[in-house]
């Protein structure tokens, strides 16, 4: 039996990971952690019987403890709870399906404890890749991507020498506002931005996909996962989300992974890597599929992507500013406190005043996050 723990088990990736667990009969789940949805977490506890569960707020944890007092599951809370679930003795893989850079500390602790990481939580790698990748190497731990593009890249690298990679072609759907110009985005409402053409995902990443900040985060994520320069990564808009990403080699050969949009494939691939397993679901039908289109990304309208390249090139603490500013700006947009276009204006403003720290420690990353939040809060 394979044993995994999941941070963010009630979210989009978390629940799909549990579907993969259900479909395969050889995975146990000794640890689950979630933010606040204790109703769903209770159901998951009853079904998967974990030894540990964690909820962010102590108040919710208390309520959950009462609800599941008839089970053997111990309920913890806060950062201590997240870390306890991340380092459990019996688990081999930690699935980081939590959203935001709050995942940094638990991920680092899990690597120190020798756990392989099935990484969905891109914000962690974007902000702390320079700490995580060397640590993983030192601890002989694998960081396996759960992002569809990065999983496609990993699949396209199989059987080839990584030294012969010329560039990475990171595909993007372009989101719901592809083809629009700035003036058409002035009055975008939360409901409009939450309509992704191809993928059903958590709210934060859905907004990020609409601004193309998600693609920017993925460029930096790819830089760390595959040890390439950001300028070796080219974003290619492919609106149908059929090609999940590609790798171009020195001789000009391009390898790609194609498929229907279903996150269960990257999740299952990460959990069983390098083995492939049967996965039920829709298949690509090339007789019905009439065309696959390609476009250059519009980095003037969606200049969050341009800012991501800038942050990724500079490295240091600038990617933390890019990410932290986006996290807070998006949550403010979701709360209808800022307008759609302000998301990117806020990121640009925070980046423009930041004094870059070249190789920030974990403390400096967290301080940079706090300083970025402070600047945003004092904007008006």
Q: Which residues of the chain form contacts with Mg ion (CB under 5 A)?
A: 147-149
Is the distance from CB of 199 to CB of 141 less than 8 angstroms?
Answer: no
Contact partner at residue 18 from ligand NAD, Mg ion, none, CB < 5 to 8 Å by partner kind? none
**56/177 with CB nearer ligand NAD:** 56
**188/330 with CB nearer ligand NAD:** 330
As measured in angstroms, the least distance from the Cβ of 337 to ligand NAD is 19
As measured in angstroms, the least distance from the Cβ of 365 to ligand NAD is 16
Cα 132 to chain centroid, rounded: 15
Residue 260 neighbours by CB under 8 Å, 6+ apart: 242, 281, 282, 283, 284
Q: β-pairing, 254-258 with 243-249?
A: antiparallel
Nearest residue relative to ligand NAD (C-beta)? 11
User: Helices 148-157 and 213-226 sit at what angle, rounded to 10 degrees?
Assistant: 30
Nearest residue relative to Mg ion (C-beta)? 147
**358/370 with CB nearer ligand NAD:** 370
As measured in angstroms, the least distance from the Cβ of 42 to ligand NAD is 13
C-alpha–C-alpha distance, residues 97 and 122, integer Å: 9
**147/298 with CB nearer ligand NAD:** 147
As measured in angstroms, the least distance from the Cβ of 285 to ligand NAD is 23
Is the distance from CB of 120 to CB of 96 less than 8 angstroms?
Answer: yes
Contact partner at residue 97 from ligand NAD, Mg ion, none, CB < 5 to 8 Å by partner kind? ligand NAD
As measured in angstroms, the least distance from the Cβ of 124 to Mg ion is 15
The first and second tokens of residue 343, run together, are: 């998301």
Q: β-pairing, 243-249 with 27-34?
A: unpaired
| Phi, psi at 33, each rounded to 5° | -140, 140
Q: What is the CA radius of gyration of the chain?
A: 20
C-alpha–C-alpha distance, residues 119 and 114, integer Å: 15
C-alpha–C-alpha distance, residues 333 and 338, integer Å: 5
Neighbours of 366 (CB within 10 A): 18
Contact partner at residue 309 from ligand NAD, Mg ion, none, CB < 5 to 8 Å by partner kind? none
Contact partner at residue 333 from Mg ion, ligand NAD, none, CB < 5 to 8 Å by partner kind? none
C-alpha–C-alpha distance, residues 28 and 198, integer Å: 31
**42/149 with CB nearer Mg ion:** 149
Contact partner at residue 85 from Mg ion, ligand NAD, none, CB < 5 to 8 Å by partner kind? none
Q: Which residues bind ligand NAD (CB under 6 A)?
A: 8-14, 33-35, 37, 56, 82, 97-99, 102, 120-123, 147, 199, 201-205, 263
As measured in angstroms, the least distance from the Cβ of 380 to ligand NAD is 27
As measured in angstroms, the least distance from the Cβ of 58 to ligand NAD is 12
Contact partner at residue 122 from ligand NAD, Mg ion, none, CB < 5 to 8 Å by partner kind? ligand NAD
The first and second tokens of residue 180, run together, are: 């629009």
**201/378 with CB nearer ligand NAD:** 201
């Amino acid at each position: 039996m394979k044993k995994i723990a999941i941070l963010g088990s009630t979210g989009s990736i978390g629940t799909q990971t549990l579907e993969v667990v259900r479909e395969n009969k050889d995975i146990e789940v000794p640890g689950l952690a979630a933010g606040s949805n204790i109703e769903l977490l209770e159901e998951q506890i009853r079904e998967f019987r974990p030894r540990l569960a964690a909820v962010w707020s102590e108040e919710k944890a208390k309520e959950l403890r009462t609800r599941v007092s008839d089970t053997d599951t111990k309920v913890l809370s806060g950062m201590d709870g997240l870390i306890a679930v991340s380092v459990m003795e019996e688990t081999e893989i930690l699935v980081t399906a939590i959203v935001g850079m709050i995942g940094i500390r638990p991920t680092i602790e899990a690597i120190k404890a020798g756990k392989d990481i099935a990484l969905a939580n891109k914000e962690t790698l974007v902000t702390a890749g320079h700490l995580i990748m060397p640590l993983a190497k030192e601890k002989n731990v694998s960081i396996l991507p759960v992002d569809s593009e990065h999983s496609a890249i990993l699949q396209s690298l199989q059987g080839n020498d990584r030294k012969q990679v010329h560039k990475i072609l990171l595909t993007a759907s372009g989101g719901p506002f592809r083809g629009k110009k700035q003036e058409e985005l002035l009055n975008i409402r939360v409901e409009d931005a939450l309509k992704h053409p191809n993928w059903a995902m958590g709210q934060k990443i859905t907004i990020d996909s609409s601004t193309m900040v998600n693609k920017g985060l993925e460029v930096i994520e790819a830089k760390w996962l595959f040890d390439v320069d950001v300028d070796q990564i080219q974003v290619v808009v492919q609106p149908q989300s059929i090609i999940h990403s590609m790798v171009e080699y020195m001789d000009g050969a391009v390898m790609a992974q194609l498929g229907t949009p279903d996150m269960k494939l990257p999740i299952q691939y990460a959990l069983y890597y390098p083995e492939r397993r049967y996965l039920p679901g829709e298949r690509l039908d090339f007789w019905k599929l009439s065309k696959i289109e390609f476009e250059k990304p519009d980095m003037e309208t969606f200049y969050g992507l341009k800012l991501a390249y800038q942050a990724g090139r500079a490295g240091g603490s600038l990617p933390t500013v890019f990410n932290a500013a986006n996290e807070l700006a998006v949550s403010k947009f979701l709360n209808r406190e800022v307008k759609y276009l302000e998301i990117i204006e806020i990121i640009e403003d925070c980046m423009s005043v930041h004094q870059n720290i070249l190789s920030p420690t974990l403390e400096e990353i967290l301080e940079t996050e706090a300083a970025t939040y402070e600047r945003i809060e004092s904007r008006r």
